[in-house]
Structure 1
Amino acid sequence: MSTAGNPDEDAVVHAAGCVLWRRSPVDATLEVCLVHRPKYDDWSHPKGKLKRGEDALAGALREVEEETGHRAVPGAPLPTVEYEANGRPKEVRYWAAEAVAGTFTPNDEVDRLLWLSPPAARDRLTQPRDRYLLDALLHVLHPA
């Protein structure tokens, strides 16, 4: 129970997302999707809070479609990321997912989208934890 009187205040925020990838339509090289969120002025992988009772994978695919306009085919699970956001613990489950169809339309949550090579995506990502997820994707797609 929180001392502030709100029993949910210290509860973990559950979210889910994907490290979205595709083969370039130009030369078939690997490209990773990054989204820009104007509220935070950051570049990240598409993700969002789960709805009450929503399955994490279903929520991840819903968030990808809402934020990027792309439908995706889920692949391997990637590491779960835990951090504090707005003073509350947050847990984000991720999957590798291949974009199969769709078109991006800017919206209030995401105003820009980029498809980048993995090295360019690494340089553009704002949070180090998102670079770790990029590494996990590369390991899944190209195991040693």
Structure 2
Amino acid sequence: MKLIVLTLVVFCSLVAVTTNSVAQSKDQTAVSQAVEHLRLLMISPDKAKLEAIAADDLSYGHSSGKIEDKAAFVEALTSGTSDFVSIELVDQTITVVDNTALVRHKLMGETLDKGKPGQVKLSVLLVWIKQKGNWKLLARQAVKI
């Protein structure tokens, strides 16, 4: 009898771990897709799509120390104040805990801010939250590298 109970406990534990790993992988994939969507929107901004991907309480931190809310973030990209010509993301990691995801990566890009060409090399932390089944950018902080 003890052997049967022990076998059931081990089996249930394995099923729980496997189910959690599959769910985590599914969320990690969805977050990765959201990050890629954001990357493309930062190069070719679309106001409606930027507003849709950002949480209402967005806190967007630049490497200069400047902090933007959702409206300022969208305006900077759509007005050309912050103009990315290209963005490459490397060394990305994604950690999902419940409905929150932490994404870290290095961002290398070419800019044309206010018509002035430049280059950026940043280490970035993104915080995403899952709202109504969609991953939304809640916070971002960058530092120069």
Which structure is larger by alpha-carbon Rg, 1 or 2? 2
Is the TM value for this pair above 0.5? Answer: no
TM-score, reference length from structure 2: 0.28
TM-score, reference length from structure 1: 0.29
Indicate the structure with greater helix content. Answer: 2
Higher relative contact order (CA 8 A, sep 6+): 1
